[in-house]
Each structure stands twice: as C-alpha cells, then as structure tokens.
Structure 1
Amino acid sequence: MSFWPEFFLIAAVHLMAVASPGPDFAIVLRYAVRFGRKQAIYASIGIGMAILLHVTWSLVGIAVLIKTTPWLFKALSLAAAAYLLYIGVQAIRSKAPTDAAHAVGQNTTDVVPSGRKAFIAGFITNGLNPKATLFFLSLFAVIISPVTPLSYKVIYGLYMSLATTAWFCMLSAILTHTKIRGFLLLKGYWFDRVMGVLLLALAMHLVVSSFSS
C-alpha cells in the first residue's frame, strides 16, 4: 500500500485536532502566562509524550477494552474531570499582580514549578483526556487501514507526538514573547480565570457525558 496519502491525511486530521482549543491549550497558556517559556515548553513536551500513551493503547488493544468496558472508560473520564477541576480551581483563584513593574520585571510572583512538575502536568492533562483516547481510537479504526504495517503505524504515532510537541512549543514561544508576555502578565490573571472557567466546564462536561453514556 502507499504510505504518503495515508500519512498526509493523518497529518491533516491531527493538525485540526491539535489546533482546536481544549485542556492542552489551556494548560500551556496558563504555564506560559504565569511561569514563563521554559515551564510552558516542559508542559508542551509532556503533552507530546502523552500522545505516545494513546498510540500505544490503540496498538496493543487496550483502547478497545476501554471502549467495550463502560465502567473502565467512566473511571477514566471521572479521573480526567477531577484533574481538570483541580487545575481549573487553581486558575480561577489567580490574583492580579500587586506591583505591575515588579510583575513585568520579575515575570511572576508565583512560585515557579520545576520542569519535572510542568512536564507531569502536561502529560496528565493529555494522558487522562478521554477525548484524546477516542480521537486515536477513531484514527486507528477509520482512517488507518487494517492492512497498514505496524511499522507505519509506529511512524504515524511518533510523528503525531513530535508534531504535537512542536505545535505547543511554538505556542509557548509566541505567548512568552516580550511584549505579549508583558501584556499577559499585567492582564493575564483574567485569561487565567477565563481558562479556569473553561476547564471547569470541560470537567463538568466529562462528568455529565460519563453518566449519560
């Protein structure tokens, strides 16, 4: 079979999925605004590495188990909702900087998390996202042909992981540009609060959909 037509189709679908706003975008925006480029990039790498988790699940058949075992998928949804609820509450509690000049000069008055913590936050945000699991289930079941060699599927998975990392790293660089970051640091707590509300809405959506399915 031909490799390139399938690959380009997967790349296009993946680009649309990764560019759409969601928990991944929210966590990168939060880290970029509050903690700076380095922490946002660590979170972006965590998000990209979590893609390999979804790919692995799909390749070894665990994703099929999740799909055919309602209680397991419900547990995953509730775990994701709990995590989104936690980071959403933290975002809503963001406060305006008490000293504007100090905020711009020193980046943030918040305690900056380590690169490891930022990586874990990104990894958990994407890894526990049921929508990401369903996306890769659909991708491997519908778009990728059953006769596609395993080696091709592995290449697809690696590409999507690297492309996701590159996308969010680019986003991190844009959001932490000096002028953009200066503005976001002064008014960014409003973005933080809005993102917090969106994260809470996503958490509630997961809870409702898990019990209505």
Structure 2
Amino acid sequence: MPSIELLGAYLVAIFLLTITPGVDTLLVVRNTARSGLRAGSVTSLGICSGLFVHATLSAVGISVILVQTAWAFTLLKWAGACYLIWLGVSSLRQAWRKPAIDSTPVASATVPPRFRRDFREGLLSNVFNPKTALFYMAFLPQFVDPAGNVFLQSLMLAAIHFLLAMVWQCAVAALVARSNRLATPGWLRRTMNGLTGCVFVGIGAKVAMTQA
C-alpha cells in the first residue's frame, strides 16, 4: 500500500488534474446538453471506467512498451485523433439539423435514452486518449510502493481517481442540466453544438499533429 505521504500527494495531484477542463469535461457537457443529466452521468461513468483500463496496462507494463514503441504510440494517437474528430463531426451535424419545434425544449420522456451510446462514447474517449496513457505510465508509478502488490495498488489509485472524477463530472452535468431546463432557443442550442464540434475537431487535429 502507498504511504500516507504518497497518498496525500496523489490526492492533491489527481484533484487538480480532475478539475482541469479537457476533452472528458467537454464530452460530458455535450451529452448532458443533448440528452439530460442521466446521459451526462452515464458518459462520466464510461470515461471513468476507462481509467481502470489504463491502470491495468500501466501495472503490467504495456503502457511502457506502448510509449517506447513508436509505431504503437502513433497508432494510438491516430485512433484517438480520429475518434475526437468523429465526435466533432457528429456535433456539427446536430448543429445543422434543425429541430421540428425550434423554441420548445424537448421533454426527456419523449426521447428514449441511449445510455449504451453515451457510455461507449465516454469509454472510447478515455481509452483512445494518448495523454491519459502517458499520464498513467509516467505519473501513477510515482505513487506505487514497489515492495507491495503493484497491480492492486494501481487499481486502488485508479479507483480514487474514478470517485473524484465521477463526483466532479456529475456535478458539472447537474449544472448543465439545470441550465438546460430553461427555455433555451433552438438557434442557441445549435450554436453550442457547432462550437463544441469545432473544438472536438480542433483537438483531434492537434492530437494528430503532435509528435510521438
């Protein structure tokens, strides 16, 4: 088990990392605005579940191999970039699609929730994020006691990250859902979708151009 000092340092570092806006927060905001609080919460669950994938890979050393092998990291980078661009294009399509009733918010009861889609988007967004892989490869081992069970410690640290990220992202989703209950004009919702789409495409393009 990590020492109290290491665990305290990890909590501070992971809290600052969690509240820093990024792709995960943007995806939660987009899905909440699109389908409501439960959709945002399920998206957050998918994102945070991906942390265990990275923790497992880090614990067994695959992350080190992935980062040290140029073609493998490039493949991960391009997969993440393509996925972000796909999310952006999806948002832009929603921005161009004019709803049948422009000024009236859509009642959540009339829209069947697509929780599988929301969970999948969150999970893939996290798993295909090369920055998350690098973070867990370089950062997580700093808080693991090599004399103990590395795998269990990695999962425990990922579980702490999971809880903090879920609380934060669900709080963000709740704020978005609360503001979304107001009578938001259709043109404003489409504008927000357009801006979100542009950001996703821009981030994807930046990831693709980043040197391995």
TM range (shorter): 0.7 to 0.9
Among all aligned residue pairs of Structure 1 and Structure 2, give the percentage whose two residues are the same amino acid: 24
**For the structure 1 residues 86 and 5, does the alpha-carbon distance in structure 2 shift closer, same or farther, using more than 3 Å as the test?**
same
TM-score normalised to the size of structure 1?
Answer: 0.86
RMSD in angstroms over aligned alpha carbons?
2.4
Query: Matched residues in 1 for 2:25 and 2:184: separation?
Result: 15
How far the C-alpha of 1:70 sits from its partner, in A, is: 0.7
Is the Cα contact below 8 Å between 2:144 and 2:153 reproduced in 1?
A: no
Is the Cα contact below 8 Å between 1:37 and 1:176 reproduced in 2?
A: yes
Q: 1:66: which partner in 2? A: 66
How far the C-alpha of 1:196 sits from its partner, in A, is: 1.3
Q: 2:41: which partner in 1? A: 41
**For the structure 1 residues 127 and 98, does the alpha-carbon distance in structure 2 shift closer, same or farther, using more than 3 Å as the test?**
same
Is the Cα contact below 8 Å between 2:32 and 2:39 reproduced in 1?
A: yes
SS of the equivalent of 2:136 reads helix
**For the structure 1 residues 184 and 24, does the alpha-carbon distance in structure 2 shift closer, same or farther, using more than 3 Å as the test?**
farther
Query: Matched residues in 2 for 1:37 and 1:101: separation?
Result: 20
Q: 1:168: which partner in 2? A: 169
| Count of residue correspondences | 208
**For the structure 1 residues 3 and 107, does the alpha-carbon distance in structure 2 shift closer, same or farther, using more than 3 Å as the test?**
same
Q: 2:75: which partner in 1? A: 75
TM-score normalised to the size of structure 2?
Answer: 0.87
How far the C-alpha of 1:130 sits from its partner, in A, is: 0.4
Long gaps (5+) in structure 1:
none
Q: List 4+ stretches of structure 1 deviating above 6 A.
A: none
Query: Matched residues in 1 for 2:43 and 2:147: separation?
Result: 35
SS of the equivalent of 1:182 reads coil
Is the Cα contact below 8 Å between 2:2 and 2:153 reproduced in 1?
A: no
Is the Cα contact below 8 Å between 2:26 and 2:196 reproduced in 1?
A: yes
How far the C-alpha of 1:147 sits from its partner, in A, is: 4.0
Q: 1:24: which partner in 2? A: 24
Q: Aligned partner of 2:47: which letter?
A: I
Query: Matched residues in 2 for 1:25 and 1:97: separation?
Result: 25
Is the Cα contact below 8 Å between 2:63 and 2:133 reproduced in 1?
A: yes
Q: Aligned partner of 2:41: which letter?
A: I
Please point out which of 88, 95, 99 is paired with 2:101: 99
Q: Aligned partner of 2:101: which letter?
A: D
Is the Cα contact below 8 Å between 1:79 and 1:128 reproduced in 2?
A: yes
